[in-house]
Amino acid sequence: ILKDYVSGFPKESDMVVTVDENLKLKVADDSKDILVKNLYLSCDPYMRLLMTSRSLEIFTPYTLGTPITGFGVGKVIDSRNPEFKEGDLVWGTTGWEEYSLLKSSEGLFKIHHTDIPLSYYTGILGMPGLTAYGGFYEVCAPKKGEYVFVSAASGAVGQLVGQFAKLMGCYVVGSAGTQDKVELLKNKFGFDDAFNYKEEPDLNAALKRYFPKGIDIYFENVGGKMLDAVILNMRVYGRIAACGMISQYNRDQPEGVHNLMSIVYKRIRIEGFSVFDYYPQYSKFLDFILPYIREGKVKYVEDIVKGLENGPAALIGLFSGRNVGKQVVVIAPQ
């Protein structure tokens, strides 16, 4: 439960975990209610944007005093919705609580493939996977041999974008915030190269070192100083997929970006997108990704913590880079 709206970097003490002995969750007979037992919860950067009192375009703030919401995987316990029945496994938006009474099935997907770890439906087979897929293949419109740069590259989305770029035959470099993550990018995910942005005093010089011929595609996850440096290093007709800007989420005032004229000089296309744009393509995405996972050709790294009581620390850890891979909270193992 979020105690109060957050300004600046979120703290564990901004949230509280409570037990309500009197709470009786029950599906109403004349409803389409679905009662779900939550198994895995997903920590996602956008959740910080809901901790702010002001509405931000597509985001409505959390309601104080009630459990926060996010993506999760659960099992249907009871249902008055004809599309979902007891025992179904589902993923979609749920509450950060042991059981959730879902009033709508909008954005709730039934899980059919259970030979893959269920937690993957918070990541590679869920919202972040679809984000990487739509953002890379559609927004970036990649071509074989192009030079691709991915920031926050070891995260839930970035690790996939890098692997998709390799599948496409691109040259791909990622940035991350520790040496261990850099090794992971190169040795596990097959990035051609990677660097620790925290150890680069001059990001422009670093990018020139890794991309002497410039960048065709930038998959933008962080914003701020990195975006400014990337713009200077784009090639003519380069594309930037603006997926997110995590470096800005704890700021009341966004950081300035100064090199915008290079967008004109280099005819760069910058395109923002939302994962919801790609929801209609979810089954096509599954057909694409499942064989790669089963054959071990696309890898996925998760960072799993146990227990709802450890959820707040896991969630705020995204903003210091504590997570290595997709941050998941296990509520109840299957």
Q: Which residues bind ligand NDP (CB under 6 A)?
A: 44-46, 128, 131, 152, 154-158, 176-178, 181, 221-222, 243-247, 273-275, 318-319, 321, 323, 326-327
Q: Which amino acid is at 121?
A: Y
User: Could you tell me the smallest distance in angstroms from the CB atom of residue 45 to ligand NDP?
Assistant: 4
CB of 78 to ligand NDP, least distance (A): 31
**Shortest distance in whole angstroms from residue 38 CB to ligand NDP:** 19
- Nearest-10 crossing angle of helices 203-210, 224-233: 50
Nearest distance in Å: CB 168, ligand NDP: 19
First-to-last C-alpha distance (Å) of the chain: 24
Q: Which is nearer to ligand NDP, 76 or 230 (CB)?
A: 230
The label of the residue with tokens 């790609």 reads 278
* Cβ distance to ligand NDP smaller for residue 75 or 326: 326
Contact status, residue 139 vs residue 271, Cβ threshold 8 Å = yes
Closer of 46 and 292 to ligand NDP (Cβ): 46
Cβ proximity to ligand NDP, 44 vs 97, nearer residue: 44
CA 57 from centre of chain: 18
Q: Which is nearer to ligand NDP, 48 or 75 (CB)?
A: 48
Least separation, in Å, of the C-beta of 194 and ligand NDP? 10
59-63 long-range CB contacts below 8 Å, 24 or more apart?
61/5, 62/2
The answer to whether residues 40 and 307 touch, using CB atoms and an 8 Å cutoff, is no
Q: Which residue's CB comes closest to ligand NDP?
A: 244
Nearest alpha-carbon partner for 98 in 130, 74, 124 = 74
